[in-house]
Amino acid sequence: MGFLDQWKTLEAVPLSINSLLINLVIGFILALLIKFHYKKYGSTLSNRNEFSNVFIFVLLTTVLVISIVKSSLALSLGLVGALSIVRFRTPIKEPEELAYLFISIAAGLGLGANQTIPTIVSVIFILVSMTILKFRKVEKEKNMYITINYEITSEKETVKILDNINQIISNELNSFDLRRVDTSQNSIELNYLVNLKNIKSLEKIIEKLQKDYPKISINYLDQNQVPSI
């Protein structure tokens, strides 16, 4: 095979615009589905509403890149060199964020390779599986952060209040973890990580604390389903 014959094998095969548009539309729908799932069932503390918008760009861009590159070996080799100088500096703080990004990329790869039906079935199956696991986890346990703030008048009162609050929480819960204690001349702030089997336990704790300490301030945050900002 001569040089010209070898070069012809590297020439790009014309890309079907209709096929590309169909894949982009399907990719957009899948990206919206992934975004909805992440916002509803994600448990990260970041701004899920803002971060989930990235899924659409990642998925559709992957579809475009793979659709163009797959038609030409020369473009494939060029892409390897181009991507070798690209650096992404955005930090991924939660493993769950990386998992959803990977699903978006995988969906884009599948659609770009014209594996439409397997891609749709796989994405739906993965999201349904994740939903089932999320529901089972929520039913089994509910981890919450409780922040308690109270004004004090002396250091002796700090020790007494800490013992009383620990006793109140222990009466309703089998286990809890005091994560942080901040004290000053005028106030004490306690941060607990508690495991609740039902919401009534939390209601009893709050009721008892407010009864014993009328001026107490209580904040609680559900770790399993943090509301999106």
Report the candidate in 166, 180, 165 with the shortest Cα–Cα distance to residue 210.
Answer: 165
| Mean pLDDT, rounded, for 105-129 | 91
In the chain, ranges of CATH 3.30.70.360 domains: 142-222
Torsion over CA: 212, 214, 216, 217 (sign): positive
CATH entry 3.40.50.1240 includes domain 142-222: no
* pLDDT 10s digits, 73-104: 556 655 655 555 555 555 655 678 888 888 99
Read off the pLDDT of residues 192-211 as tens digits, 9 standing for 90 and up: 888 776 677 778 888 888 88
The 10 Å Cβ neighbour count of residue 224 is: 13
pLDDT in tens, 1-44: 454 454 454 455 566 788 889 999 999 999 999 999 888 877 66
Contacts of 20 (CB under 8 A, 6+ apart): 63, 64, 67
CA distance 94 to 53: 16
